[in-house]
Amino acid sequence: MRFLHKEDEDKELTYEDVFLVPQYSEVDSRMDVDITPPDNTGATIPITVANMTSAAGKRMAETVTRRGGLVILTQDTPREKIEITVEYLKSRHPVFETPVVLNEDESIQTALNLIHKRSHGAIIVVDNGNKPIGVFTEDDAEGRDKFSNIGGVMTTDIIYADDTVTPREAFEKLHKSHVNVLPIINKSGELLGILTKKGAVRSEIYKPALNKKGKFITAVAIGASGDIVKKAERLVEIGVDIIAIDTAHGHSRRMIDSVKAVREAVGKDVIIHAAQVATGKATEDLLNAGANIVNVGIGSGGSCTTRIMTATGRPQLSAVIECVKAAKKKDGHIWADGGIREPRSLVLAMAAGASNTMIGTIFAGTHESPGDIQFDEEGRPYKVSVGMASTLAVNEKFKHLEPFDLEKKKYFREGTNEGKIYLSENYAGAEDLIDYLISGLRSAMSYAGAKNLEEFQEKAVAGVQTAAAFEEGHAVKKWNY
């Protein structure tokens, strides 16, 4: 990316400060552009869900990875649970989605409590042999005793497809039958997964993020302290593809030593992702230590107050630009972490040279994020989001400490304690957000005349705008005359 006016190169800028200038284009369709990240991670779209306890979990990882993105499981998750989750993810089907499944003897209330764990809006009811016998939706519970069994209200007139069905065939079958969910069964009639209309179409648009064995790519974070070599070696043993070494201040002796130690222990084939930095020198030092990818962003996250608390950090776009230049000297890559709140932010991060983006807060407000959906006094659904250095996160991370030592840790908390992230009416599912973000990126690349991300970074021309110009770019929500 180059600036329209050379004098803007030395300004410290964030995403809202900048716009892209349209360029001559020979791209005929947005679908013709290649958005595969050039960093050899196996991702097919430049979206990674950050290792936040309120965003990254089993359901999120399955859903996002199926659409080509990545999810970094948090370092605060117990090792036993990480191993179970990785095993689960490696067993998932690259096309067929995993539904919520219940027995017909379960109560309607139980079903209602679980139905929002996925964005399908349905529960598959199975017999004791795991064969589908019905479908339950929220409409089936209308006016019913919530303690009665779902077997008495479920829809039993369901259609099936076997595991040879193509996404197009599945869509046509759903369309003709006027139903929303298609159970996929094996030769014995046992449930393998489901397809929805949207899922079938997405399977044609996106490619899953798979490793060389054809399994979902998994990424797990570890801290820069403790026996990190032992942790890293165990992660490699269970099949983890990307190890993210994560600390708030990545340009430190401890972090550099940690990256060196992990690289020596796991060999050259495992991808090491190191976080967090905001300068070119920090990027170079971590790449020299053995990292493949460096995470850029200090204080720009939606739940982060680091810059307010400490005055430390950097406007995100300028941080990305400088760190990209440093990474290219070392044949490394950077991911832009923080400040991605809408498609234009992701677009600018990619134009500036990032190979991927890390996004947390907005994915916390989806069906697939950990935690249960709650409803406010107006009936609007939301989930609770916390910063990774907040009091709640500190309590969870250091719950093994003695009460006195835990209280001392709280004195160094940062980030919002707790916030409500409302589920958007249009983007309530993680896949809805992916569609929204990727649609903006594809369009931006066509405006720039770029057929792939490398071309986009070469051809993008940026200008600096006023706050009024930024506001002008927003759609008018209400006309007053």
Instruction: Write the DSSP symbol of residue 21.
Output: -
Taking the alpha carbons of 47, 53, 270, 237 in that order, is the dihedral positive or negative? negative
Whether 349 and 290 map to the same domain: the answer is yes
Q: How far apart are CA 203 and CA 166, in angstroms?
A: 9
pTM across the whole model: 0.92
70 and 53 assigned to the same domain: yes
Q: Is the pLDDT of residue 127 over 60?
A: yes
Give the residue from 197, 231, 253 where a domain finishes. 197
**Same domain membership, residue 454 and residue 338:** yes
Q: How confident is the model at residue 76 (pLDDT cuts 50, 70, 90)?
A: confident
The kind and range of the H/E element at 294 are strand 293-296
Which percentage of the chain shows pLDDT scores above 70?
93
Phi-psi sector, 391: left (phi>0), alpha (psi -120 to 50), beta:
alpha
What is the arithmetic mean of pLDDT over 455-479?
91
Active site residue 304: yes
Q: Provide the token pair at 74.
A: 């948090």
Asked if pLDDT for residue 462 goes beyond 90, the answer is yes
344 and 449 fall within a common domain: yes
Write out the DSSP string of 358-407: EE-HHHHTSTTSSS--EE-TT--EEEEE--TTSHHHHHHHTTTS-HHHHH
Average pLDDT on 82-98 reads 97
Q: Are residues 116 and 54 in the same domain?
A: no
**Residue 477: pLDDT over 90:** no
Contact indicator for 263, 290 with CB cutoff of 8 Å: yes
Average pLDDT, the chain: 92
**Is 297 marked within a binding site?**
yes
**Residue-level pLDDT at 421:** 82
Alpha-carbon span 402 to 190, nearest angstrom: 49
Could you give the CA distance from residue 376 to residue 363 in angstroms, rounded to a whole number? 19
Residue 237 resides in a domain: yes
Residue 413 has pLDDT above 70, yes or no: no
Domain boundary among 197, 218, 252: 197
Is it the case that residue 392 has pLDDT exceeding 60? no
Give the tokens for residue 259: 């990256």
Residues 87 and 31 in one domain: yes
pLDDT at 471: 94
Per-residue model confidence (pLDDT) at position 376: 87
Q: Is 299 annotated as a binding residue?
A: yes
Residue 390 belongs to a domain? no
Q: What's the mean pLDDT in 378-397?
A: 67
At 58 the pLDDT is 96
Contact 318, 324 (CB under 8 A): no
What are residue 459's phi and psi, to 5 degrees? -95, -20
Is there a single domain that holds both residue 267 and residue 146?
Answer: no
CATH number at residue 191: 3.10.580.10
407 found inside a domain: no
In a domain, 324, yes or no: yes
CB 243 within 8 A of CB 290: no
- Co-location of 328 and 456 in the same domain: yes
Residue predicted with more confidence, 417 or 412: 412
Total domains in the fold of the chain: 2
Are 147 and 296 in a shared domain?
no
Three-state DSSP class for residue 30: helix
Distance of CA 133 to the CA centre of its chain: 33
**197, 232, 248: which is the final residue of a domain?**
197
Q: Is 72 annotated as a binding residue?
A: no
Which of 304, 346, 437, 450 is catalytic? The answer is: 304
Rounded Cα gap, residues 12 and 2, in angstroms: 15
418 has pLDDT over 70: no
pLDDT tops 70 at residue 53 = yes
Distances (CA, A) of 198 to 168, 181, 358, 457: 11, 10, 25, 31
The sheet that has 181-185: what strands, in order across it? 161-162, 181-185, 191-196
Same domain, yes or no: 284 and 433 = yes
Task: Please state the separation of Cα 181 from the chain's center in Å.
Answer: 24
- 391: confidence class by pLDDT, cuts 50, 70, 90: low
CB burial of 180-191 (b: ≥16 within 10 Å; e: otherwise) equals: ebbbbbeeeeeb
Average pLDDT, integer, range 251-275: 97
pLDDT in the model for residue 227: 92
Distance separating alpha carbons of residues 196 and 310, to the nearest angstrom: 47
Query: Is 247 labelled a binding residue?
Result: yes
- Write down the pLDDT at residue 412: 60
**Whose CA is closest to 360, among 391, 337, 381, 344?**
337
Residues 245 and 258 sit within 8 Å (Cβ to Cβ): yes
Residue 428 has pLDDT above 60, yes or no: yes
| Domain CATH for 312 | 3.20.20.70
Task: Find out whether 248 is annotated in a ligand binding site.
Answer: yes
Helix axes 316-329, 343-351, angle to 10 degrees: 30
The span from the CA of 290 to the CA of 288, in Å, is: 5
**Hey, which bits of 119-241 come out as E strands?**
123-126, 132-136, 161-162, 181-185, 191-196, 219-222
Residue 150 has pLDDT above 80, yes or no: yes
Give the H/E segment covering residue 175. Answer: helix 167-177
Q: Are residues 142 and 175 in the same domain?
A: yes
Residue with tokens 């600096």: 464
Check the annotation: does 280 bind a ligand. Answer: no
- Are 215 and 279 within one domain? yes
Q: Which domain holds residue 311?
A: 2-93+208-368+425-470
Q: Please check if 301 is assigned to a binding site.
A: yes
323 annotated ligand binder: no
Residue 131 pLDDT class (50, 70, 90 cuts) = very high
- Look up residue 386 and give its two tokens: 């916390």
Q: Which two tokens stand for residue 81?
A: 């649970």
Structural contact between residues 209 and 44, judged by C-beta atoms closer than 8 angstroms: yes
| Of 46-55, 100-109, 301-310, minimum mean pLDDT range | 301-310
CA distances, 148 to each of 108, 124, 134, 144, 286 (Å): 6, 17, 16, 8, 58
Using DSSP's 3-state secondary structure scheme, residue 192 falls into strand
Per residue in 271-318, pLDDT tens? 999 999 999 999 999 999 999 999 999 988 877 778 888 899 999 999
